Amino acid sequence: MKLTRTLKVVNKLGLHARAATRLAQLAHNYDARIRVIHGDQSASADSVLGLLMLQTCQGQEVTVICEGSDAKPALEAVTQLFSGRFDESE
């Protein structure tokens, strides 16, 4: 199964080190290949360095692609993490 969703980066600092680490930790919980695409760059969601290199800022959009047996729950969890501002206050 392959699912795709466009998400908006709503937290103030974008996909910075703490947020990228949270996403990478979440990605390890699912039997799914999760990719994040920003512009012409792509990174595996389980790679903190790869996510940082996407250089996303507040207000920008990313495309998340989940493939595998846990694609649906993985995509829902990633969506919730983004919409919840990575559990940050701003």
Q: Catalytic residue positions? A: 16
Using an 8 Å Cβ cutoff, are 23 and 35 in contact? no
How far apart CA 56 and CA 68 sit, in angstroms, is 25
How far apart CA 43 and CA 49 sit, in angstroms, is 9
How far apart CA 21 and CA 25 sit, in angstroms, is 6
Inter-helix orientation angle 17-27/71-83, to 10°: 160
